[in-house]
Structure 1
Amino acid sequence: MKSSTGGNAGSAPPPPEAGKASDLKVRMLSALILGPLVLAAVWAGGWTLRALLAATALLALNEWLRMVAQDRLATALPAGLAAVIVVLGVHVALGPAIAMLAAFALAGVVTATAGMGRWLVGFGVPYVAAGVLALDWLREAPEAGLALFLFVLLTVWATDIGAYAAGRSIGGPRLAPRISPKKTWAGLLGGVVASGLAGLGVAVAAGAASPLLALLVGACTAVVAQAGDLFESAVKRRFDIKDSGRLIPGHGGLLDRIDGLLVAAPVLALFHATAGVWLRWW
């Protein structure tokens, strides 16, 4: 029986430091397991990677709809997942540009299943599709596909790590206190530096034409990735949700892990296909 002064030692909650250390261990273990699997699929490319990207798209949209559709989930979920499958098929058959047109068209259909005023429900289709199609397009780019995919993947990872390290060690003014109270300007700067260095490292290893320009692109990628992170945080705050799901132990949902990548990948793909051509950055 517990005493009136606080109970026995076995029932006492662990100190906050122990909880944080335990959570960090779980996060690291998840990363050590999933990271090599993802990199192996990226290295293989082709249909191995496309299968992973298709699964990613379906899981991410599932989490998105569970956040924003809520009471209309029974009709929005099958419509949304079917839309993503159609978009992926169009991408394979006709390419990413036509696939994105299909994604926006089908977004209207999915929105209609939840009510025309609930545009966030349908927006999930082009939101997820843009990131996944861009990743596939980057990997399939002639000659430099693997390097470009690794560039966006590693710079986004470096952004998260650099932002976490700088934010925890330096602290300071909040970046967007109403959206994500834990993010700081120091964290953003740490992410920019880490991402730029990661981009430089990939460029040097790949023999890119302009490693210094790659460093600047990597730094810009960090800003874009952080914007993607803040966007998802704003959506979660609107619906009073802490994590998009519980798929990855210690990390939350899949969408929580790839929110920056879903935005950074299409931006990098557009840059590489347009300004990147005459800049000869790669």
Structure 2
Amino acid sequence: MVRPLADPLALTPKSSYAELPLRIVSAILIAPPAVAAIWLGTPYIEMVVLAAVFMMAVEWARLVGHDRNPWLIGAMTAGAPQPVIGYFFGGFDIAAILTAILFLAMLVMAKIAKLPRGLWLAAGIPVIVLPAISLLFIRNDPMGVQTALWLVAVIAATDIGAYFSGRTIGGPKLAPRISPKKTWAGLIGGMLSAALVGTATILLIGEGDIPLIAVVSAIMAVVAQMGDLSESAVKRHFGVKDSGAIIPGHGGLFDRLDGFITSLPTIALATALSGASVLQWH
């Protein structure tokens, strides 16, 4: 279930890091299966992706106000995995067709039932499907394992760097109407942390142009923050604090994976347009 949005309060020194232990425990629980799935590949990564798509479909339907319509939640959870399955067997073209069909189907179902927010419900299909397919596309590249692990490290570093620098330094708000706790210091700290960890990761991997990867990692920190802010805007619009409660300290899967919603498609598009993994750019 989604958690109602409370009025945002100014952080005090004692409360600033109160959720940190839960965040650390949650990260420890989430990271190993995700990294293992990326490393092992088929069929494990497909199983993990489908499970995530299923859970995020439930969260999205509830988030946009359809938590009291179990048949819509059922339609969403049954429909969202279909483009991903289509990608397994027919590639991107089939996935794109299925995504469009499901988007229209959600609109029609909401219209027939005379339910509000039908467009919001339908929007969840591409929001969930595109990052999922992007991860599979990246993983299927010859440098897919390295690229995916690099991106996971960069987004995790962004989250940690933004969290600590934002709460330690404070200062001007980044987008006070959307996410009152986020600051410019947090964004810059996240970019620096991403650049450092991204560079360290490719040094371990042994691939990539160091100055270029440092810059790309910092850019991905900004892209990830855009995903974070976008999810925050949706939650604020619907008056909820968390997309769910499946992950202690993080809320729902959307709360944990919001940075990947924008960063995965960005890297997948860059890979497709350049014909090579970002780690092979020079």
The answer to which structure, 1 or 2, has the higher relative contact order (CA under 8 A, 6+ apart) is: 2
Contact 1:79 1:113 in 2 (8 A): no
Pick closer, same or farther for the CA change 1:44–1:249 going to 2, 3 Å: same
Which residue of structure 1 aligns with residue 147 of structure 2? 148
Matches within 5 A, 1:237-252: 237-252=236-251
Query: What is the aligned counterpart of 1:78 among 74, 81, 96?
Result: 74
Counterpart amino acid of residue 178 in structure 1: R
Measure the CA separation in 2 of the matches of 1:269 and 1:89.
Answer: 18
Q: Does 1:63 align with 2:59?
A: yes
Measure the CA separation in 1 of the matches of 2:66 and 2:78.
Answer: 18
Pick closer, same or farther for the CA change 1:257–1:98 going to 2, 3 Å: same
Measure the CA separation in 2 of the matches of 1:20 and 1:209.
Answer: 37
Deviation at 1:23, TM superposition (A): 3.1
SS in 1 for 2:203: helix
Q: Whose radius of gyration is greater, 1 or 2? A: 1
Matches within 5 A, 1:12-23: 23=19
Name the % identity.
Answer: 38
Kindly provide the CA deviation profile for residues 21-55 of structure 1, in whole angstroms up to 9, marking residues without a partner as x.
66322222222222222222222111111101100
Query: What is the aligned counterpart of 1:87 among 62, 75, 83?
Result: 83
Measure the CA separation in 1 of the matches of 2:55 and 2:243.
Answer: 11
Query: What is the aligned counterpart of 2:27 among 31, 44, 47?
Result: 31
Matches within 5 A, 1:6-17: none
Contact 1:75 1:114 in 2 (8 A): no
When the two chains are superposed, the root-mean-square deviation of aligned CA atoms in Å is 2.2
Counterpart amino acid of residue 180 in structure 1: S
Query: What is the aligned counterpart of 1:52 among 42, 48, 53?
Result: 48
SS in 2 for 1:274: helix
Pick closer, same or farther for the CA change 1:125–1:156 going to 2, 3 Å: same
Contact 1:65 1:76 in 2 (8 A): yes
Contact 2:162 2:185 in 1 (8 A): yes
| Higher mean C-alpha deviation, range 50-59 or range 29-38 | 29-38
Contact 1:100 1:130 in 2 (8 A): no
Measure the CA separation in 2 of the matches of 1:17 and 1:197.
Answer: 27
Measure the CA separation in 2 of the matches of 1:141 and 1:278.
Answer: 7
Measure the CA separation in 2 of the matches of 1:258 and 1:36.
Answer: 15
| Higher mean C-alpha deviation, range 207-216 or range 234-243 | 207-216
Count of residue correspondences? 266
- TM-score, reference length from structure 2: 0.87
Measure the CA separation in 1 of the matches of 2:44 and 2:35.
Answer: 11
Unaligned runs of 5+ in 1: 1-15
Unaligned runs of 5+ in 2: 1-11
Deviation at 1:276, TM superposition (A): 6.0
Contact 1:91 1:133 in 2 (8 A): yes
- TM-score, reference length from structure 1: 0.87
Deviation at 1:134, TM superposition (A): 0.6
Kindly provide the CA deviation profile for residues 92-127 of structure 1, in whole angstroms up to 9, marking residues without a partner as x.
011134313321331111122223863110111111
Matches within 5 A, 1:1-282: 23-70=19-66, 73-115=69-111, 118-142=118-142, 144-275=143-274, 277=276, 280-281=280-281
Measure the CA separation in 1 of the matches of 2:13 and 2:217.
Answer: 34
Which residue of structure 2 aligns with residue 5 of structure 1? none
Measure the CA separation in 2 of the matches of 1:176 and 1:21.
Answer: 21
